[in-house]
Chain A
Amino acid sequence: MKNFKQFAIGSAVALAIGASGYVAEAAAEDGNYVPLLTYRTGPYAGSGIHIANGMNDYLQMLNERDGGIGGVKIVIEECETGYNAQKGVECYEATKGKNAVVYNPYSTGITLQLIPKAAVDKIPVLSMGYGLSAAADGNTFPWVFNVPDTYWDGASVAIKYIGEQEGGLENLKGKKIGYIFLDAGYGREPIPLFEQMAEKFGFELVKYAVPGKEMQNQSSQWLNVRRDRPDYMIMWGWGAMSPTAIKEAVKIRYPMDKFIGVWWSAGDDDAAAGGEGAKGYKAMNFSGVGSDYPAIQDIKKLVVDAGKSQTDPESIGSTLYNRGVLNSVIIAEGIRAAQQLTGKKVITGEDMRAGLETLDLTNERLAELGLTGFAHPMKVTCEDHAGSHPVFIQQWDGEKWAVASGWIEPMKDLVRPLLEAAAKDYAEKNAPWPKRTEACPN
């Protein structure tokens, strides 16, 4: 009956709004306006929905519990991008005039489009753990933040972890490491670092590209994996790509404990799709597992159970949901820092940029937020907008994720010089790239 009703209402609404991007009107005058570029539709919705819910619910919870931040409500507005760069830019243009304080593109493709706009419109871009790795260089990219880690940090952690499994990085010589990736800006981003590490440590890198339209048709890629017999597989998958890859890996009987996904291929649904055979699959992560945190319980009580969210209660505490929560924690802490710096309650994008540059999420602060152990302490400086923070490995036990390692530091000594060189290269290729004039608030 419920379904029938939904069918009837659905037909009317679907006719009315079609498949186009829809931006609800939000009043931004009395609060800090945070547009969320999300995707609940399209091929990447399987991942995007959880992130969107996590981001939304935490900010909503602050509004319900604390009346917002610093006594001012957060005005939250979602804009549907469908993980499409063009739609993402449309969402940006449609919302930036409402005194947006920060943008979270949730797509490396959209992030790359917004980076040049950020300095012009004076609205920072927060690409938490994704986007352009070189943007970690705060001197070249003062308006972009990719805390807590860049993709290059992630790539270095994956190789470091594999090295640990083999008894040291020196033992990687002669090994074959496969890299299966979504053939888009996101998946191609860490390739330069993987190639440099292959040369440095003497392993062979074998790449398997998965075009976006072939996400659910990966049998050729995995036949190649079967023929090449890589010692380890690393995945940069998103949306429908990750569960399909895990299923295919199970199908060719690839040893799952040697298959490691980036933190975006760490969804509960991704691993569960492989059934019993997916047991042993590993993924990197930098946000808490489960819902046993006071702040998450507040979300459940004040937002989800109160019917003020689209979240399926069962997905609270899942990896990608918690990732969305962490993203909003960083937004909220940025706003709070900006308020303290400027003395203003309603801040601007410029204030937010300064606030994010002073972000210092300590263990004590995490405890105050009701998120003890939810993330590793993270700090942003004017020079380093990512921070190369440690990540951990989690492993699928057939039903849920379990922590499978301690915190692993990225190879910062290797990554940082390359990031700076890449930032310089970006600025030269996009000349005249503006020189940093923003004062360092630290």
Chain B
Amino acid sequence: MLYDIFIDPFVQMVEMPDFFLQVLWEGFVAGILYALIALGFVLIFKASGVFNFAQGIMVVFAGLTLVGLHENGVPAFLALILTIGVMGVLAYGIERVVMRPLVNQPDIILLMATIGLTYFLIGFGEFVFGGEPKRMIAEELGLPTGSTAFEMGERGLVILQHIDIAAAVIAIIMVTALGIFFNKTRIGRALRAVADDHQAALSVGISLNQIWAIVWFAAGLVALATGIMWGARSDVSFALEIVAFKALPVLILGGFTSIPGAIIGGLIIGFGEKIGEIYWGGLVGGGIESWLAYIIALIFLLFRPQGLFGEKIIERV
């Protein structure tokens, strides 16, 4: 037993280096995708202190809108632009109908509002697009398909899916762009001010409503990118909404307010769960991936309760 836990997994890693590399690559890709989802949660939490329960369904909704428009004859790139428009309208609508009437309400009320929003979007999405899974229009959008295999030794093989490489590149571009937006632009600085203190931000003339609409729109864009990438790996279906909650341990680990935290947290969870499942999962019958992520996050919490990059909250009484 001790051999199986402490020796055998490492022997396997050395004996099959190609497979180990493949596991690392899959962990990296999963981590990037988790980070993309987590990013959507972080954006809204930063601006309003709300855990946006609807982020998962926004991923599905954005993906379905894109594919649905294309199915109705809209060219792929025009469909992409129109979907961005739809996410903008959705953000504006959420700010006007959901967020604005709830200013100054306790956070739990805002959380409940996002749960309500989730069920509205599920019903609305199913009514408009139907419940059937749809194929993501990855090729039409110019995203690469196929794979490249690298041979290692006599039987070794590492296979890289081109769509996974594209996902990694797009995620890195999005994170860099969001980083620049939040740190270098006037709106970005205003958003950080709102995140620090709503009332102080209002007192210096920052429009809370405008900031919220912008941040929900940014979260919508992240949801669209996530929907495209996850959709290309499987299909765009309402089952994707559940996958979005894989971001929870990432948020616990990385902190709810940190963009770098979402990225680093995503990668730690991605690598951790893949390596854990493949090399240690068999010891307990497999299928440990779904809870291992939470164990990893909880271990980190023991040492940093606010998450890796979260802000330390000191409340004086």
Q: Which chain A residues have a beta carbon within 8 Å of chain B's beta carbons? A: 2-3, 6-7, 9-11, 13-15, 17-19, 39-43, 45-46, 48-49, 183, 207-209, 211-217, 219-220, 223-224, 226-227, 239-240, 243-244, 247, 251-253, 269, 272-273
- Checking B119, B127, B132, B290 against A10 with a beta-carbon cut-off of 8 angstroms, the contacting residue is B127
Can you list 8 pairs linking A and B with CB atoms under 8 Å apart?
A15-B120, A18-B123, A41-B131, A183-B287, A240-B234, A240-B239, A251-B147, A252-B159
Please report the C-alpha to C-alpha distance between residue A410 and residue B29 in the assembled complex, in whole angstroms. Answer: 42
- Pair B237/A240 contact, Cβ less than 8 Å: yes
B41 within 8 A of A: no
**Contact partners of A214 in chain B: CB under 8 A:** 243, 289-290
B277 within 8 A of A: yes
**Contact partners of B282 in chain A: CB under 8 A:** 224
- Pair B123/A45 contact, Cβ less than 8 Å: no
Please report the C-alpha to C-alpha distance between residue A269 and residue B238 in the assembled complex, in whole angstroms. Answer: 15
In order of increasing CB-CB distance, the 3 nearest A-B pairs are: A45-B131, A43-B239, A14-B123
Bits for B272-283, please: 1 = Cβ < 8 Å to A, else 0.
011001100110
- Checking B22, B68, B120, B133 against A269 with a beta-carbon cut-off of 8 angstroms, the contacting residue is B133
Given A45-B132, A209-B287, A216 and B230 contact (CB-CB distance below 8 Å): yes
CB distance from B124 to the nearest CB of A (A): 4
Residue among A7, A39, A220, A273 having the largest count of chain B Cβ atoms under 10 Å? A220
Count how many pairs of residues, one from A and one from B, have CB atoms less than 8 Å apart in the complex.
141
B122 within 8 A of A: yes
- Pair A6/B235 contact, Cβ less than 8 Å: no
Bits for B285-309, please: 1 = Cβ < 8 Å to A, else 0.
1110110000000000000000000
- Pair B234/A213 contact, Cβ less than 8 Å: no
Given A18-B123, A45-B238, A223 and B132 contact (CB-CB distance below 8 Å): no
- Checking B19, B123, B161 against A227 with a beta-carbon cut-off of 8 angstroms, the contacting residue is B19
CB distance from B97 to the nearest CB of A (A): 11
CB distance from B277 to the nearest CB of A (A): 4
**Contact partners of A213 in chain B: CB under 8 A:** 242-243, 245, 290
**Contact partners of B242 in chain A: CB under 8 A:** 43, 212-213, 215
- Pair B274/A216 contact, Cβ less than 8 Å: no
Give the dominant DSSP class at A's interface.
helix
B: interface residue count bin: 35 or more
Please report the C-alpha to C-alpha distance between residue A15 and residue B161 in the assembled complex, in whole angstroms. Answer: 41
CB distance from A319 to the nearest CB of B (A): 15
B16 within 8 A of A: yes
Q: Which residue on chain A has the smallest CB distance to residue B246?
A: A217
B69 within 8 A of A: yes
- Checking A208, A227, A244, A269 against B132 with a beta-carbon cut-off of 8 angstroms, the contacting residue is A269
CB distance from B123 to the nearest CB of A (A): 4
B130 within 8 A of A: yes
- Checking A14, A43, A219 against B237 with a beta-carbon cut-off of 8 angstroms, the contacting residue is A43
Q: Which residue on chain A has the smallest CB distance to residue B133?
A: A46
Please report the C-alpha to C-alpha distance between residue A19 and residue B119 in the assembled complex, in whole angstroms. Answer: 6
- Pair B135/A14 contact, Cβ less than 8 Å: no
Please report the C-alpha to C-alpha distance between residue A215 and residue B127 in the assembled complex, in whole angstroms. Answer: 23
CB distance from A384 to the nearest CB of B (A): 34
CB distance from B125 to the nearest CB of A (A): 8
- Pair B69/A220 contact, Cβ less than 8 Å: no
B128 within 8 A of A: yes
Apart from A40-B131, A43-B237, A45-B133: 13 A-B pairs, beta carbons within 8 A: A2-B72, A6-B127, A18-B123, A46-B132, A46-B235, A48-B131, A49-B130, A214-B289, A219-B26, A220-B289, A224-B281, A227-B19, A273-B235
Please report the C-alpha to C-alpha distance between residue A42 and residue B26 in the assembled complex, in whole angstroms. Answer: 27
**Contact partners of A49 in chain B: CB under 8 A:** 130-132
Q: Which of B250-278 contact A (CB under 8 A)?
A: 273-274, 277-278
Given A17-B123, A40-B131, A253-B159, A243 and B239 contact (CB-CB distance below 8 Å): no
**Contact partners of B100 in chain A: CB under 8 A:** none
**Contact partners of B96 in chain A: CB under 8 A:** none
Residue among A15, A223, A272 having the largest count of chain B Cβ atoms under 10 Å? A223
